[in-house]
Structure 1
Amino acid sequence: MVVGEITEDKDIVVIGGGPGGYHAAIRAASLGRQVTLIEREDIGGTCLNIGCIPSKVFTHFAREFKKTKHLKEMGMEFGEVVANLSSLQHYKKKKITQLRSGVESLCKANKVEIVRGSASFLSESRIGVENGHEFSLFNFKDAIVATGGDLHYPDGIDFNADRVLKERQIFELEEIPEELIVYGADYISLEITSVFSTLGSLVTLILNEELLFDSSISKELFRQLKKQKINVIKSSTIKTVSDTEEKVIVGLNKANGEMVSIEGSHFVMSGKVKPNLSDLGLDRLRVELTEDDYIQTDREGRTSIPHIWAIGDVTKGPSLAVKAIKQGKAAAEAMAGRSVEVDLQFLPAVVQMSPPIACAGMTEEEARQAGYSVAVSENFVRGNGYAQLADEKDGFVKVVSDSETDMILGIHMMGMGAAELITSGVLGLEMAARDEDFRFPLYHHPSMSESLLEAVEGLKGDAVHMPPRKEELAR
């Protein structure tokens, strides 16, 4: 590496071209700043290229594959339906390329300069960018750190074995595993479990920790997993993974101390995300870190150095693209002098499994622990006309409220359309809505949105498609 003498002056540099980084870059450019976006790999980052988009190609495919039986019942005629993962991989790569090209075009249209290479801080106002044998020096006025996170796994597992996979590798398969062992309790593990069970794999799900859903969602989830013939092993930690010529053998330590072995054709593990800061040169700066080695920021995204900002997986909180996108826009607007903040209180949790799960706000248990006078209502999807005609009758909508003020505290959904419908719930939670605020608007019929309406109406026993409440109603 040879360091040149020429240093270029930049206005804003954004380090990392993932969803948080490119949203920040484009928003800052639209507000009149000159922006340089530095990315060492592909624009779109982990989310677009190897994470969110590839996995959702598979969840969408599995959902459509599952519908074929219902479509035949309705009268749609076609031959034998086969899940061809080789063709799916071709489709996945095509869509990723199209989406990445779209992001690059947006950057170009907004006059965002894209620089390829790995960036590191040399001082509080200078960075170096290395790209092969080239090395560039930039002075900057403001910088945004958006370098994302890396996945980490327990020691002793050989991921070089063909059938021992990390969660992103399983979405590169061109054949459906015969017997799949999934280890993890996050949304990715649940989506993998659902996808490959739908496509024909015999799936065993090993939960290494408790699921973080409302108790009603967890209960229904386990019922659905049983219905789909998915073997679930709870409260177990992995000890060994052995890949033989014919199978993968997983040794587990159960909560009661029992040691068990599980056999399958493939094994996949979901890792833990940690901030990707090792090569960023932060040791040269006085940037404050949290106890967990995330970059400490305020509600605008500003670090302990006023002109350096941090967003996404390098900051504390869920490792989700929605967080990074919101933080990226907020940081760009704060740089422009606008009054903004990021509040993750009602960040929705979504699992694109079958049926999908979407939640926001407090669980019933959290609301009781917080001292609220809790009222709950659950409206099962099977009573919804649209769910019946679409043959999507599994799931329910649960609403948690404070009976003293009628304020809605949490909304938890499982069923068709939950991922889209939860946005209405988030909007209501952000506005501190009471039940009457959800009941007053018109909900088109027939639609899945009526399940949310009737769940809210059920708080007072007024829902038409729910059985009458036996207890005396408090009004």
Structure 2
Amino acid sequence: MVVGEISQERDLIIIGGGPGGYSAAIRGAQLGLAVTLIEQSEMGGVCLNVGCIPSKVFTHAAAKCAETAHLQELGIGSSTDIFDFKKLLSYKAKVINQLRTGVESLCNANKIEIIRGKATFLGVDRIGVENGHQFDIFEFEQVIIATGSSPIMPPALKRKGKRTLLPYELFMLEEMPEHLIVRGQDYIALEAASSFAALGTKVSIVIDEKISFPFDESINKELNRLFKKRKVSVHKENEFISTSETEDEITITFKTGKHVENSIQGTHLVVSGTSTPNLDSLGINRFGIEQTSEGFIKVGENMQSSIPSIYAIGDVTEGPMLAVKAIKQGKTAVASIAGEKVAMSLTFYPVIAHTIPPAVSVGLTEENARDFGLDVRISQFALGGNGYATITGKKDGFIKVISNSATEIIEGLHMIGEGAIEMAGSFVQLLEMAAKEEDIKFPLYAHPGFNEGLLEAIEGLIGQAIHAIPVKNNSLL
């Protein structure tokens, strides 16, 4: 190993080139900071290379497969069309390469110095970077840790062969599973079950005891209905016992709510377990940085840790492990370093799933409102009454509004249906603004469009939705 004799000075170093890291780097450059970004693998991180982007290629393909019957009604395609899995894998690789190249080009255009290698803290103001036989030392004013996290198998489940998969490994398979068993109920599990079912795989979902899907109970109920309609079996309230694996199949054994032992045989098992922050190799624990009992770095509203020169963003911090959190935190951190007074809040963030149809929840659920003892009004508009949903053949789903009865402030917005992902940003904005019912009723809505469903749901709070059948004996009328 060749060790640099003289340490090199840098103003701002960012460790990790995932969504949070490269967003922080670009925003830092925009704010006039000299930025050095260190990445030991591929730019874009786990999200772009093996996580968010590859999985959404699959969910996109699945959504298109689900449109086949409607497209035939329109005179497009035929029943003889065959899904080509190899072409999907080729498209996935093309998309990843295009996006990764785009990120690298943006960093170059913003004059961001990119250093390849593995970073290790040598002090609170120094790091070493190892790349093959080269080892360089850098002194810095500030550093942002954006090294992400790694999924781990639940303690009770030990990998016994190639048929037990972590989520990102599912989208790296080179052949379609014949029967996919999904253990979990988070958005990753829902997307895997929904997309592979639409692509032709037999799917079974096994949910741990007394845990439901992560949305408002109305959306959870609709997801269960749609899974049943598409012949996806959902096994609820189960206690995991064990797995056994052969060359050709895997068996998962569990106890049902009635304590009856049951088992399912499949060709693959995907487990949406927990994740651990990628911090061990950095060596930061030697310097007394404040961490949670789970090992996450504690940060303030500006993403600064207990050591003033060290900031942290994304999955290495507490909170949901979402790219949207990492991106926002990265921008907040560099703005603080640049001298701006900033703060970040995770009060309202969209919980989404690219299922078929997609789902989003923002703010209080109906169950939350009951638990908090709030007096609320609730309205739910079925997309079956929306003109554009009828045109596109995507009538499954609804938009649900939860409003405070006393103040008319919107407390929660939830949707399952086509366009839900695109509506998520508007939902967050409305809740951040503490919008009232009138704020949503006042604007004009594009017609025809799925967006009109939001207006109908708001007007439904007082029984005035135009395209909904009146409710008999409605006490609000």
TM-score, normalization by structure 1: 0.97
SS at match of 1:267: strand
381, 384, 403: which one aligns with 1:382: 384
* Residues 299 and 341, structure 1, Cα contact 8 Å, conserved in 2: yes
Question: 1:428 maps to which residue?
Answer: 430
Amino acid at match of 1:249: T
Distance 2:374 2:403 in 1: 8
* Residues 85 and 173, structure 1, Cα contact 8 Å, conserved in 2: no
Distance 2:341 2:312 in 1: 17
312, 318, 321: which one aligns with 2:320: 318
Question: 2:225 maps to which residue?
Answer: 223
* Residues 460 and 473, structure 1, Cα contact 8 Å, conserved in 2: no
Post-superposition CA distance 1:425-444 (Å, at most 9, x none): 11110000000000000001
Shift of 1:473: 4.9
Distance 2:205 2:156 in 1: 20
Shift of 1:70: 0.7
Question: 1:143 maps to which residue?
Answer: 143
In structure 1, list runs of 5 or more residues that go unmatched.
none
Higher mean Cα deviation, 228-237 or 411-420? 228-237
Higher mean Cα deviation, 270-279 or 160-169? 160-169
Distance 1:220 1:78 in 2: 30
Distance 1:61 1:348 in 2: 23
Matches for 1:60-75 after TM superposition, within 5 Å = 60-75=60-75
The share of aligned pairs that are identical, in percent, is: 49
Question: 1:416 maps to which residue?
Answer: 418
Distance 1:142 1:4 in 2: 21
Distance 1:279 1:325 in 2: 23
Question: 2:310 maps to which residue?
Answer: 308
SS at match of 1:207: strand
* Residues 122 and 284, structure 1, Cα contact 8 Å, conserved in 2: no
Is 1:92 matched up with 2:92?
A: yes
* Residues 411 and 425, structure 1, Cα contact 8 Å, conserved in 2: yes
Amino acid at match of 1:276: N
Distance 2:177 2:415 in 1: 30
* Residues 48 and 54, structure 2, Cα contact 8 Å, conserved in 1: yes
* Residues 461 and 473, structure 1, Cα contact 8 Å, conserved in 2: no
* Residues 150 and 273, structure 1, Cα contact 8 Å, conserved in 2: yes
Distance 2:438 2:264 in 1: 51
Relative distance call for 1:372 and 1:132 in structure 2 (3 A) is same
Is 1:127 matched up with 2:127?
A: yes
SS at match of 1:168: helix
Distance 1:280 1:243 in 2: 36
SS at match of 1:141: strand
Shift of 1:338: 1.2
Question: 2:54 maps to which residue?
Answer: 54
Question: 2:116 maps to which residue?
Answer: 116
**C-alpha RMSD of matched pairs (Å):** 1.5
In structure 2, list runs of 5 or more residues that go unmatched.
none
Higher mean Cα deviation, 362-371 or 197-206? 362-371
Post-superposition CA distance 1:265-285 (Å, at most 9, x none): 222111211211111111221
* Residues 154 and 274, structure 2, Cα contact 8 Å, conserved in 1: no
Distance 2:141 2:367 in 1: 47
Distance 2:288 2:266 in 1: 49
* Residues 145 and 308, structure 1, Cα contact 8 Å, conserved in 2: yes
Distance 1:225 1:453 in 2: 28
Distance 1:442 1:172 in 2: 45
Matches for 1:387-466 after TM superposition, within 5 Å = 387-466=389-468
SS at match of 1:80: coil
Matches for 1:69-218 after TM superposition, within 5 Å = 69-78=69-78, 80-155=80-155, 157=157, 159=159, 161-208=161-208, 209-218=211-220
Distance 1:20 1:246 in 2: 40
Distance 1:473 1:440 in 2: 24
Question: 2:15 maps to which residue?
Answer: 15
Shift of 1:165: 1.9
Amino acid at match of 2:246: T
Shift of 1:334: 0.9
* Residues 16 and 148, structure 2, Cα contact 8 Å, conserved in 1: yes
Shift of 1:169: 1.4
Distance 1:98 1:211 in 2: 34
Distance 2:238 2:410 in 1: 36
* Residues 152 and 166, structure 2, Cα contact 8 Å, conserved in 1: no
Matches for 1:335-350 after TM superposition, within 5 Å = 335-350=337-352
* Residues 207 and 237, structure 2, Cα contact 8 Å, conserved in 1: yes
SS at match of 2:127: strand
Post-superposition CA distance 1:175-212 (Å, at most 9, x none): 22221111111111100100111111111101123222
* Residues 144 and 309, structure 1, Cα contact 8 Å, conserved in 2: yes
Distance 1:333 1:119 in 2: 23
Distance 1:339 1:456 in 2: 36
* Residues 215 and 360, structure 2, Cα contact 8 Å, conserved in 1: no
Post-superposition CA distance 1:382-406 (Å, at most 9, x none): 0001001111011011100101110
Shift of 1:160: 6.2
Shift of 1:248: 1.4
State the aligned residue count: 475
Higher mean Cα deviation, 342-351 or 462-471? 462-471
Distance 2:397 2:31 in 1: 44
Shift of 1:79: 6.5
Amino acid at match of 2:243: V
Post-superposition CA distance 1:230-262 (Å, at most 9, x none): 100012233322222332111113344332111
